Amino acid sequence: MEDLKLTLKQQIIESLNLQGMTPADIDDNAPLFGEGLGLDSIDSLELMVLLERNYGIKIEDAREGRKVLQSVQSMAEYIQENRKI
Amino acid sequence: MKPVYISSAAALSPQHSFDNEELLPDIVSTDTGKLYVIDTDYSKFINPVAIRRMSRILKIGISTGMRAVQLSNHPINGIITGTGRGSMRDMELFLGDMIKLNEEALNPTYFIQSTYNSVNGWLAMQTKCTGYNQTYVHRGHSLEMALLDAQMLLNETEEPQTYLVGGLDEMTEDYFLVKSKKGYWKKDIPNSLQLLKHNDTPGSIGGEGAAFFTLTNQAENAMCKLAAINIIQNPTEDIIKAAIDKTLADNNINIKDVDVVLCGLSGDNRFDHLYKSVFDNMTAHTTIAAFKHLVGEYDTSTGFAMWLATELFKHQQIPEVIIQKKGIHPDIKNILIVNHYILNSASIILLQL
C-alpha cells in the first residue's frame, strides 16, 4: 500500500504538472480539492484519465468519483480493490 | 474610416523586445533556421494555479496581453486576437494521444487549451473583461482582421472605448517539419542576420511571437495613431503600389511624407519582388527597413512590425540592423508597414505620430 501511494503521488505530480512539489509534500489524507492541494475541476478530469490509463479503472458515476478522489489514501484504496492493470 | 489610437504596446519575440528601455539591444541570431521567442517570467502575469497546465504559446500570449493592459491608461471594453495557428503544441499532443491511445483516456487539458480562443478566454478571466471577445483565424490576415474589427467597433461609438488587440503564433518542431515539405523554409540555411541577402532562392526561416496593443478612440496620451489598415488578397507588385498610393491619398499625405517603411522582406525569391514598388517609388527622404531577419516568418508577424513602429516613434531613431536603405528624414512621424505572408496575403498599415 505504501509503495502504491508513493507511485500515485508521483503520477499526480507529473500528470497535473505540480511544479516544485515532491511526494513528501502531499499528505495521504489531505483533501485533493479545495483546502488541500487546491485542485480544480479540470484536474479531476485529469485524475480520472490517470486512473484509466495507469490502472484500467473507469469511473462513470460522478458521486463515486467524488468519493474516490477525496485524497491520495482514498484513491490508493480504490485502486487496490479495483485495478485491472 | 476614422483613425484609432494605440495607447500601449507589448511584444514577446525572438529579440529582447519585452520591457526593455533600450530599442532592440543584444540582437539575437541563429544558424538553425528557427527563431524562438525569448521567454520572460510568466508567473508575473498569470495566475499561479493556472500556469502549471498552460502550454508555451498560452503563457506567451497571456503575458504579452496582460503587459499591454498594464501599460495602458484605459480600462478595456473587449479583447480581439488574431492567430494563424492557435495553440499548435496542445493540438499536436492531443492528436498524438488520440492515435497512441486509440481515442480513449485522452487528457482534457490539451483539448481545452488547443482551441484557438484559449488566450482570449484567459485574458478575459484575468482582466475580468466580460465585453466583446473575438478570435480571428485567417492565416496571414489574422491580426489584420482583429485590428480592422477593433477599428470598426471604435468607429461605431462616440463613447470612449478601448480594446485589447493582439496576434500570436508559435513554432513547433512538427509544424516546422510539415511546412519544410511545403517549401516554406530555405534548404541552405543562412545565418538569420544574412537572410535578406539570400533572396535568390525560395523559402525563409521560421519564427514566432506575440504582440498586443490597446486600441482606443481617445487621442490623449496615445503612442501613435493607427490611420489605416489595408488587407490585400493575391498581391502583385502593381496591386501593392496602388494600395500604398491609395492609403497615402486617403490620409492626405504624399509619398515624400513617409519617413519609414517597414517591409516584410523574407529572403524568399517567390515573394520579395512584391516590395519592388516600395524600393522603386520611395524617395531619398524615406528609410526602408525590414524585420523578418529578426523574428522569422509567421502568420502574425505584422504584430512585431507594429510594435517596432511604436518603438521607432518613441526613440526617434532606427537601429542599423533593420535598415535596408537609409533616408534623410529629420524625424519619424509617418511609418508604413508593408507585409506579406506565404501564399496569398499582404497588408498595408499606416501609423502616424
Domains of chain B are 4-216 (3.40.47.10), 224-352 (3.40.47.10)
- How many separate domains does chain A show? 1
Is residue A48 included in any domain, yes or no?
Answer: yes
ipTM here: 0.76
Is residue A46 included in any domain, yes or no?
Answer: yes
Say if the Cβ atoms of B49 and A46 lie within 8 Å: no
Q: What is the 3-state secondary structure (H, E, C) of B254-317?
A: CHHHCCEEEECCCCECCCHHHHHHHHHHCCCCCEEEECHHHHCECCCCHHHHHHHHHHHHHHCC
pLDDT computed for residue B4 by the predictor: 96
Q: Is A81 exposed, middle or buried (0-12, 13-18, 19+ CB in 10 A)?
A: exposed
Q: Which residue of chain A is at minimal alpha-carbon distance from B54?
A: A17
The pLDDT of residue A68 is above 90: yes
List pLDDT tens digits, range A35-60.
778 888 889 999 999 999 999 999 98
Selected residue of A14, A49, A54, A84 to mutate for chain B interface (largest B Cβ count, 10 A): A49
From A18's Cα to the closest Cα of chain B, the distance in A is 7
Sequence-distant (6+) residues with CB within 8 A of B167 are: B81, B82, B83, B142, B143, B146, B210, B211, B299, B300, B302, B303
Is residue A23 included in any domain, yes or no?
Answer: no
List pLDDT tens digits, range B9-39.
999 999 999 998 999 999 999 999 999 999 9
Mean pLDDT in consecutive groups of 10 residues from the start of chain B, 353 residues: 94 96 96 97 88 92 98 95 93 91 86 91 95 96 97 96 98 94 95 96 97 96 96 94 95 96 97 92 95 98 98 97 96 97 93 97
Whether B333 and chain A come into contact, CB under 8 Å, resolves to: no
- CATH no. for residue A46? 1.10.1200.10
Domain containing residue A45: 2-18+28-82
From A61's Cα to the closest Cα of chain B, the distance in A is 16
pLDDT band, very low/low/confident/very high, at A34 (cuts 50, 70, 90): confident
